[in-house]
Amino acid sequence: MNKYELAVVVNAKIDDDARADAIEKVKELIERFDGVITNVDEWGKKRLAYEIQKMREGYYYFIHFDANSEAPAEIERRIRIMEPVIRYLCVKQEA
């Protein structure tokens, strides 16, 4: 099992329930591919470095998890089509 960090930026224009649902779906994706979530860090609403889809702000979440090496590609593939997610990045953490 490798350690990964998934950064997710969610649309700031949606309501709190929709945002919570989007993050819950991301967590379910990680668990579906045998990932074990170790920490979820919510940074809250932050200004984006540049405008994305005519938005200047987004909600930032960092999810730390352990999974096998095939899981991040599958997780990213499914997050890519989630409408509330405007940016994401999964990186392997060094031990």
Q: Residue 28 sits in a domain of what CATH number?
A: 3.30.70.60
Domains contained in the chain, number: 1
Mean pLDDT of 15-41: 94
Q: How confident is the model at residue 94 (pLDDT cuts 50, 70, 90)?
A: confident
pLDDT reading at 95 higher than 90: no
Q: Is the dihedral of CA 41, 45, 51, 53 positive or negative?
A: positive
Domain boundaries, position 47: 2-92
What number of other Cβ atoms are within 10 A of residue 10's Cβ? Answer: 23
pTM across the whole model: 0.91
34-93 confidence digits (pLDDT tens): 999 999 999 999 999 999 989 999 999 999 999 999 999 999 999 999 999 999 999 999
